[in-house]
Amino acid sequence: MISKATQLGIPLRPHFKTHQSVEVGRWFRELGVDRIAVSSLPMAKYFATDGWNNITVAVPFVPQHGEMANDLASKIELTLTASTVNGAKEISEKIFENVNVMIEVDTGQGRSGFNPTNFKGIENAIELITKTNNLSFSGFLTHAGHSYKAKPSEIELLNAMAIFEVVELKKRWINRFPQITISYGDTPTSVLASNFDGVDELRPGNFTFFDMQQSSRGVCSPSSIAVALVCPVIAVYADECKAVIWGGAVHLSKDSYLLRSGEASFGAVCNVNSDLSWSSPIDGLFLESVSQEHGVVRAKNSQLLRNLKEGDLVAILPAHSCLTADTMGEYLVLGEGMVGTMRKRT
Amino acid sequence: MISKATQLGIPLRPHFKTHQSVEVGRWFRELGVDRIAVSSLPMAKYFATDGWNNITVAVPFVPQHGEMANDLASKIELTLTASTVNGAKEISEKIFENVNVMIEVDTGQGRSGFNPTNFKGIENAIELITKTNNLSFSGFLTHAGHSYKAKPSEIELLNAMAIFEVVELKKRWINRFPQITISYGDTPTSVLASNFDGVDELRPGNFTFFDMQQSSRGVCSPSSIAVALVCPVIAVYADECKAVIWGGAVHLSKDSYLLRSGEASFGAVCNVNSDLSWSSPIDGLFLESVSQEHGVVRAKNSQLLRNLKEGDLVAILPAHSCLTADTMGEYLVLGEGMVGTMRKRT
């Protein structure tokens, strides 16, 4: 991703919500990354303690976090997100330190952000920001998250349409605010699309680990997935084409992806090597369901389970790596040791 | 639940996986509960530190937990679960302290446990247990978890069929093993069914908090739900019949229930009082989707959102309280203060 951003000439602002770990963050810093996005003020605070001094909170401002934001903004370059007129008002009323504000635009995901044709609302928000001396209007931010549900063949067009919408807004306001930029980029578009003209920074996160949702949609290969949950096998029912692992919703969270057959899967099943690295997914096995601490592995045929026994380990490539990482709260880095996250368990 | 178990004359062994908190556990103890079920050896260890000395681990034995099991069994009355022949073998080989072993039977959920007609497999497991001096075969355990997907009108029959299957097994072996018992009971059957003849202990967990999955299936009323996630509103789009809260999959986990309309909901939306208690669910609002830290509240009409603004608080009644409790890792007990869980976040 760093190579691609460099080739495009667009600064990369990786979204650290995927890994939530200062240690993993350092790997990015060693490769030259100097700015990041996060999904909450507490997360911004956490990464600031490790020396990150240019952080965008890419989620609508939480008014309850005013004090935390002021405290952080007195120390680092902080960018907040205004996603409604009243959100901009809350920022203008609660923030008295120097802060950049981006206006969030909904370019098709249907989650948060201004409708890109709501010029009046956007103008009102800009006014609230620009009339406040300590706030700096710094442009438009969008997350084209509908790309997570698109086919690879649809990504280039989806990407062009999403960028078009924010570039039109930038054109409309750039004469009055020459400093404004566009912050853009989810993992599917950042990986698969080629044309980012008009974009001033790329902000993907999931690419850090990838996962089976991305793999099942052609964004990555399973061999690119950088995180797995190693689980003990606790019951094998080969005749029923089923095995049970100690690995459930409290470990993996509960997101799924679709197999080519149309069935939902909660993870791909791999063999585990002695150093805890893992094989490519085993053909014909998938994680059919998860309850609190059980996971049910389904096999296409009983033969696939004949050599599996209670006490064996399997590695599960998660459906959604960000949620699995959050649920577990720490990582074993192969050959190195444990590293924590901001949401480590006691 | 304690009243019902008392009336039935069946000891209650509440499943503490729902709350995972020694403080919440003490409320049960104060009401006379003296035995519990848990979903892992680490959870058994955690509750044993608070004085619980009769604990059943109601998940297939994890061979990697042999040492932890021996350590715990030297201090308390520990019951482990054998769900396959080889699982029984693992217990017989790894456990050298006095331990009770229950044989898990699958009475229709399709998750773990022996098929109740697999007499040969069950006999082999019993032999492995009984030939090991320190192990005590203590009966049959089942979780009729398919009750979670049943209609209230189907529960009595489902309950009768599940109990019939384990009672038949008890009859088959009780002459040789007069001490054997039946451990039974998920929340839907324990709440709704009336006939538990042959059952020796009830083992529900979710009733501790209930949740919208249970409410949507007629097991409880929304007013019986004892846990909620208070979330700030961060973006209101009344014209689009939508609001966004800071409350996503990392807070609620990602389980859902069905509204009467057939739509999936990730939680019910309530008003919050000044003491952080909450109202009944607001008619016409529901949590339509969750991503990592965003939740999208959908409104039947825009009027429902006219008085809502950024910075307001709403309470979300979770789809699945056990997973939300695990994800958050601690509780604010109204009028008292914070209490932790075994999976508290740092």
In tens, the pLDDT along A45-97 reads 999 999 999 999 999 999 999 999 999 999 999 999 999 999 999 999 999 99
Residue in chain A closest to B327 (alpha carbons) equals A327
Subunit contact A310:B145, Cβ cutoff 8 A: no
Minimal Cβ distance to A235: which of B83, B253, B296: B83
Determine the residue of chain B that is closest to A288 in CA distance.
B111
Contact A326 B292 (CB under 8 A): yes
B60–A340: do the CB atoms touch at under 8 Å? no
A322 vs A340: CA distance, rounded Å? 14
> Beta strands B294-299 and B285-290: pairing type?
antiparallel
Nearest to B292 among A110, A323, A345 (CB): A323
Evaluate whether B200 touches B214 at the Cβ level (below 8 Å).
Answer: no
Which of A234, A254, A289 faces B254 most closely, judged by CB atoms?
A254
Q: With cut-offs at 50, 70 and 90, classify the pLDDT of residue A21.
A: very high
Residues of A in contact with B49 (CB under 8 A): none
Burial of residue A291, with CB atoms counted within 10 A of its CB: 0-12 exposed, 13-18 middle, 19 or more buried: buried
Q: How many other C-beta atoms can be found within 10 angstroms of the C-beta atom of residue A293?
A: 24
**Touching check for B296 and chain A: CB below 8 Å?**
yes
The token pair at A211 is 């996962």
Paired tokens of A220: 């990555």
Q: Are the C-beta atoms of A314 and A296 separated by less than 8 Å? A: no
Give the pLDDT score at A262.
96
Q: Does A340 touch chain B (CB under 8 A)?
A: yes
Nearest 10 degrees: CA dihedral of B98, B100, B101, B107? -170
CA distance A231 to chain B (A): 10
In this complex, do A40 and B323 lie within 8 Å of one another by their Cβ atoms? no
Q: Which pLDDT band, with edges at 50, 70 and 90, does A153 fall under?
A: very high
DSSP state of A301: S
Average pLDDT, integer, range B261-280: 97
Cα B203 versus chain centre, distance: 9
| Nearest CA-CA distance, residue A189 and chain B, Å | 18
The confidence score (pLDDT) of residue A247 equals 98
Residues in A touching B113 (Cβ below 8 Å)? 235
Sequential DSSP letters for B273-325: -TTS-EEEEPTTEEEEEE-SSEEEEEESSGGGGTT--TT-EEEEEESSHHHHH
Residue with tokens 């050599």: A307
Long-range CB contacts (< 8 A, 24+ apart) of B41-44? B41/B65, B41/B68, B41/B69, B41/B72, B42/B68, B42/B342, B43/B16, B43/B17, B43/B342, B44/B72, B44/B78
pLDDT per position as a tens digit, A159-173: 999 999 999 999 999
In angstroms, the separation between the Cα of residue B30 and the nearest Cα of chain A is 27
Q: Token pair for residue A341?
A: 């996250």
pLDDT tens digits, B8-42: 999 999 999 999 999 999 999 999 999 999 999 99
- Amino acid at residue number B224: S
Cβ-Cβ contacts under 8 Å, A309 against chain B: 86
With an 8 Å Cβ cutoff, are A83 and B291 in contact? no
User: What is the Rg, in whole angstroms, of the alpha carbon atoms belonging to chain A?
Assistant: 22
A129, A91 contact by CB (below 8 A): yes
Q: Calculate how close chain B gets to A170, using CA atoms only, in Å.
A: 22
CA angle A148–A150–A156, rounded 5-degree value: 105
Tokens of A75: 């120390």
Cβ-Cβ contacts under 8 Å for A140 (sequence gap 6 or more): A102, A103, A104, A105, A166, A169, A170, A180, A181, A182, A183
* Cβ <8 Å between A232 and B40: no
Please, are residues B316 and B331 in contact by the beta-carbon 8 Å criterion? no
Tokens of B110: 């399709």
Residues in a beta bridge with B37: B15, B56
Angstrom distances, CA of residue A122 to CA of A144, A166, B276: 18, 12, 34
Instruction: Give the amino acid at B154.
Output: E
Chain A residues closer than 8 Å to B64 by CB: 232, 311
pTM above 0.95, yes or no: yes
Q: How high is the mean pLDDT of chain B?
A: 98
Nearest to B40 among A62, A293, A343 (CB): A293
Chain A residues closer than 8 Å to B61 by CB: 234, 310
Q: Tell me the nearest-neighbour CA distance from A209 into chain B, angstroms.
A: 15
Taking CB atoms and an 8 Å cutoff, what residues of chain A touch B344?
A: 345-346
Percent of chain A beyond pLDDT 70?
100
Chain B residues close to A145, C-beta within 8 Å = 291
What pLDDT shows up at residue A312? 98
Closest CA to B244 of B252, B235, B257: B235
Closest-CA residue to A72 (of A89, A87, A94): A94
- Give the ranges where chain A is alpha helix by DSSP (H): 2-8, 22-30, 41-48, 66-73, 85-94, 119-130, 152-174, 187-192, 212-216, 249-252, 321-328
What's the distance, CA B245 to chain centroid? 27
| Chain A residues with CB-CB distance to B319 below 8 A | none
Q: How confident is the model at residue B262 (pLDDT cuts 50, 70, 90)?
A: very high
Residues of B within 8 A of A253 (CB-CB) are: 249, 253-254, 327
**Pick from B283, B276, B279: which is nearest to B298 by CA?**
B283
∠ at Cα A57 (A110, A198), nearest 5°? 65
The three-state secondary structure class of B165 is: helix
Residue A326: which of B62, B64, B250 has the nearest Cβ?
B250
**Which of B90, B237, B240 minimises the CB distance to A311?**
B90
Please name the residues between 72 and 91 in chain A that touch chain B, using a CB distance below 8 Å: 83-84, 86-87, 90
B17 chain-A contacts, CB cut-off 8 A: 292-293
Size of interface A-B (CB pairs under 8 A): 156
Q: What pLDDT does A200 receive?
A: 98
Residue B289 with chain A: CB contacts under 8 Å: 111
Look at A84 and B236 and tell me if their CB atoms are within 8 Å. yes
* Helices assigned H by DSSP within B74-206: 85-94, 119-130, 152-174, 187-192
Sheet of B229-237: strands edge to edge?
A: B278-281, B267-272, B313-318, B229-237, B242-246, B294-299, B285-290
A212-255 pLDDT tens trace: 999 999 999 999 999 999 999 999 999 999 999 999 999 999 99
Residue B96 contacts residue B73 (beta carbons within 8 Å): no
Nearest-neighbour CA in chain A from B182: distance (Å)? 21
Torsion of CA A73, A78, A82, A88, to 10 degrees: 30
Q: What is the mean pLDDT of chain A?
A: 98
pLDDT of residue B9: 98
Query: B17 to chain A: nearest residue by CA?
Result: A292
CA–CA separation, A16 vs A14, rounded Å? 6
Q: Read off the pLDDT of residues B189-218 as tens digits, 9 standing for 90 and up.
A: 999 999 999 999 999 999 999 999 999 999
Nearest to A58 by CA among A74, A79, A72: A79
CA distance A23 to A340: 8
Flag whether residue A244 sits within 8 Å of chain B, measured between CB atoms: yes
Query: Which phi and psi angles does B21 have, rounded to 5°?
Result: -130, 130
Delineate the domains of chain B, giving CATH numbers in brackets.
Answer: 2-208 (3.20.20.10), 222-340 (2.40.37.20)
Question: What's the angle, vertex CA B238, arms to CA B233 and CA B240, rounded to 5?
Answer: 115
Q: List CB contacts (< 8 A) between A63 and chain B.
A: 232, 234, 310-311
- Look at A253 and B253 and tell me if their CB atoms are within 8 Å: yes
Give the H/E segment covering residue A329.
none
* Interatomic CA distance for residues A212 and A222, integer angstroms: 7
The enclosing H or E element of B254 equals none
The answer, for A93 touching chain B at a CB cutoff of 8 Å, is: no
- A230 interface with B at CB cutoff 8 Å: no
CB contact under 8 A, A86 and B309: yes
Distance of CA A346 to the CA centre of its chain: 24
